[in-house]
Amino acid sequence: MAKRNKLEIMKDVLELVSQNHNSIKPTPLLRKSNISSSRFKQYYQEILKKALIREILDRKNNKTISLTEKGFRFLEKYQTIVHFIDEFEL
Partner 1 sequence: MVVTPEKVLKPVGAGLRVVQGQIGVLGFGTEMFYAFILIACSLMIYFGTRELYKLSGHRGIKYFRLSFLFFALAYFFRSFIKFLISSFQIKHILKLLPFSFGKITLFIFMYFSTLAILYLLYSIKWKEWDRTKYVKYFLHIISLLFAFLAIVYQNTTLYIGINIVLFLLVLQTLYQKPKKKKKNNLFFIYVLLSLFWALNILDILIPTAFQYFQLLIYLASSFIFLLILYKVTKNIGST
Binding mask of the shown chain, residues 32 to 51, with x at each position contacting partner 1 by CB under 8 A: --------------x---x-
Q: Where are the beta strands (DSSP E) in the chain?
A: 53-57, 63-67
Q: How far is the CB of 18 from partner 1 (least distance, A)?
A: 15
Site for partner 1 in 5-34 (CB under 8 A): 7
Between the alpha carbon of residue 3 and those of residues 6, 9, 57, 89, the distances in Å are 10, 10, 34, 18
Residue 4 in the binding site for partner 1 (CB under 8 A)? no
Residue 89 in the binding site for partner 1 (CB under 8 A)? yes
